[in-house]
Amino acid sequence: MTICAPEGAAAPDSTHRAALTLAADGSYAARLARHDDAAGSWFPERWTLSGPEPYAVPLQGTQPEEPDSALLPLTDGRVLILRRVADRFVASLLYPAGPGTGELLLGAVPAPELALLPPAPDGKRAYALAPEAHHTALWLLHGGADGPERIARITGRCTGGVWLDRGGRLLALDRERDGRTKTVVADLERGGETGPLLQITEESNDRLLLADPDSGLLLVRSDAPGHDRLGWGVWGSSRPVRFPECLRPAEGTLAPFAMQPGQMLAPESCAVAFRVETANGIWPAVWRPAERQLRHIPAPEGWLAGSGLWTTAGALLLPYATGAEPCGVARVAVPGAVAESARRVEAARRVEAARPVEAARPVEPPPVEAARPVEPPPPVEAARPVGAMPPQRAVGPTPPPRPVGAMPMPRPAEPPRAGEAPRPAGPEPAPRPMPVPVRPVREAACGAAAGSGGGIVLDAGVADNRSTASAHPQAVSAEPRRLPAHPQIRRPVPLQQAPLAAR
């Protein structure tokens, strides 16, 4: 990213530890509460926020807790607690167990300092940073194979910690090296391999405060304009980081603590909640990049300053605790153009729902024509009896076929014999047609080797071949009929020489 910063002084900014830590999905929360006794000892307390009404459950053990103990709620209802014991830190899981509290020891981390990171996006793992001489160790306290394990060593001293994706793979850290602080991104699936993320100028100190994985909105703090200023940019965009004047209060400090989720590819519509701290008190404020103004909202009584979460619809939930109500969540209507538009839409829906509905008019059925009488079908004529078939004439035996040869010529007329009447004069009667004998074929040759005798050859394996395989008639046992002369067979003409048919 490049810089586009106006000149002018900047108000200092500092990070504050939230009084209440929320789980990744907002279903649970945890904090260190104090007893009302004279000693005012500390004990862990878990809040359940996923039900119809929030309620708190104490998770106190056999001895009071130290005020520097860190808590991290998980999405399964257990709470990770990190205690300092001599020169090491001990991690355990606390959970309600009947009237008491159950505790599961995870293990110890030998380190002089150990800082819990924000809840992982999946809500099941817990990470911590342990600074060393020239490196920073990244520890997986819960969610690994067997107890706490060191998963990466990053060059330089790293602080902060912001998750950049919903899968819990990319972790942004503020690394201090050679007197300058720059934000780098660590890939946890590659052993903590790091790469640059935020570098406004070579000489500036650039830190990442919050990031929204859905919209890509980044809220940064940098001294590139000359003093520490709050600015915003979009991850992966080529546009410069901008430092709005509205995020530079005349007095007091600003500390962001929550970003509105679900604003896909709309970073300028993503709302950010700030903790405003001045000499007059502490209260929340809301800002959007598109509105270019910081809107102050009244804090509920007993607000646990620096804690809260956004809903996708744009409502800000602020937890609070008072003597009369030790566990409560205030739902604050967010002012601004986007909230006003949502209010108008909701009002229009209510008006539409409250509008009286006109009584339904009776539907008059269309007139139905009188049905015409159906005429009976005409009587069916009785079937006439079929007479007896005339007797058929028996067919005599067929004379054996004669060998093929020359047809016999008609003999000349003989003179009438004695006692025989002479034939009347006139044309001779037509001779009786002779059957055409066919010489039986034993085996037909193919191609050029076929003899000139010819014949009809049935397809092999077919007993009844009704297709016409030749122009010659087949032999029949009865007397053949007179058939017309067969047309003369011509030699087939090749396709490229065939004459075009007349149209």
Residue 287 has pLDDT above 90, yes or no: yes
Q: Are strands 157-163 and 100-109 parallel, antiparallel or unpaired?
A: unpaired
Position 12 scores a pLDDT of 37
Structure tokens at 98: 């009947």
Choose between 339 and 442: higher pLDDT: 339
pLDDT confidence of residue 160: 95
Distances (CA, A) of 344 to 296, 352, 353, 359, 361: 22, 12, 14, 28, 33
Burial of 233 (0-12, 13-18, 19+ CB in 10 A): buried
Which pLDDT band, with edges at 50, 70 and 90, does 13 fall under?
very low
Helix (H, G, I), strand (E, B) or coil at 43: strand
* Cα–Cα distance, 35 to 56 (Å, whole number): 14
pLDDT: which is higher, 477 or 325: 325
CA pair distance 95, 147, nearest whole angstrom: 18
Backbone angles phi, psi at 31, to 5 degrees: -155, 165
> Which class for 148: exposed (0-12), middle (13-18), buried (19 or more C-beta within 10 A)?
buried
User: Please, which pLDDT band fits residue 410 given cuts at 50, 70 and 90?
Assistant: very low
Q: Three-state SS for 194? A: strand
Distance (Å, rounded) from C-alpha 285 to C-alpha 14?
A: 16
Residue 381 above 60 pLDDT? no
- Could you tell me the CA-to-CA distances from 322 to 283, 303, 325, 328, 385 in Å, in that order? 16, 9, 5, 8, 112
63-110 pLDDT per residue, tens: 899 999 999 999 999 999 999 999 999 999 999 998 899 999 999 999
Q: Provide the mean pLDDT of the chain.
A: 77
Which pLDDT score, from 0 to 100, does residue 376 have? 56
pLDDT at 340: 45
DSSP character for 188? Answer: G
Structure confidence by residue, pLDDT tens digits, 119-160: 999 999 999 999 998 999 999 999 998 899 999 999 999 999
Of the chain, the percentage scoring pLDDT greater than 90 comes to 56
| Three-state SS annotation for 6-35 | CCCCCCCCCCCCCCCEECCCCCEEEEEEEC
pLDDT at 446 over 50: no
Q: Which residues pair with 101 in a beta bridge?
A: 96
User: ∠ CA 17-221-278 to the nearest 5 degrees?
Assistant: 55
With 80 as the cut, is the pLDDT of residue 350 above it? no
Q: Which parts of 188-245 are beta strand (E)?
A: 193-198, 206-211, 217-222, 229-234, 241-242
Question: At a CB cut-off of 8 Å and minimum separation 6, what does 32 contact?
Answer: 42, 43, 44, 45, 65, 67, 69, 71
- Checking if the pLDDT of 341 tops 50, the result is no
Arithmetic mean of pLDDT, 414-434 = 51
495/430: higher pLDDT: 430
pLDDT of residue 15: 43
How far apart, in Å, do the first and last CA atoms of the chain sit? 80
When pLDDT is averaged across residues 357-366 and rounded to a whole number, the result is: 52
* Tens digits of residue pLDDT in 288-338: 999 889 999 999 999 999 999 999 889 999 999 999 999 999 999 886 544
**pLDDT of amino acid 305:** 95
Q: Could you tell me where the beta strands, DSSP code E, fall in 68-124?
A: 70-73, 79-85, 88-97, 100-109, 115-116
pLDDT in the model for residue 333? 81
- Of 176, 184, 169, which is closest to residue 205 (Cα–Cα)? 176
Distance CA 54, CA 27 (A): 10
Secondary structure letter of residue 248 according to DSSP: S
Coil, strand or helix at 447: helix
Q: What pLDDT is attached to residue 472?
A: 45
- 3-state class of 269 per DSSP? helix
Cβ count near 262 (within 10 Å): 14
Instruction: Report pLDDT digits (tens) over 200-259.
Output: 999 999 999 999 999 999 999 999 999 999 999 999 888 999 999 999 998 999 999 999
Residue 343 makes CB contacts below 8 A (sequence gap 6+) with: 333
Q: ∠ at Cα 502 (500, 503), nearest 5°?
A: 120
Which structure tokens are listed for 216? Answer: 């890509």
Q: What is the pTM of this model?
A: 0.65
Higher pLDDT, 51 or 471: 51
The token pair at 97 is 């167990």
Per-residue pLDDT tens for 32-53? Answer: 999 887 778 999 999 999 989 9
- Statement: residue 11 has pLDDT above 50: no
Consecutive H or E run containing 340: helix 337-354
Instruction: Report residue 161 as tokens.
Output: 């910690």
Residue 495: the pLDDT is 39
Residue 17 CA from chain centroid, whole number: 38
Contact residues for 104 (Cβ-Cβ < 8 A; gap 6+): 78, 92, 93, 95
Residue-wise pLDDT for 261-271, tens only, equals 999 989 999 99
Which whole number is the average pLDDT over 169-174? 98
For residue 292, the model assigns a pLDDT of: 85
Decide if 122 contacts 72 (C-beta within 8 A): no
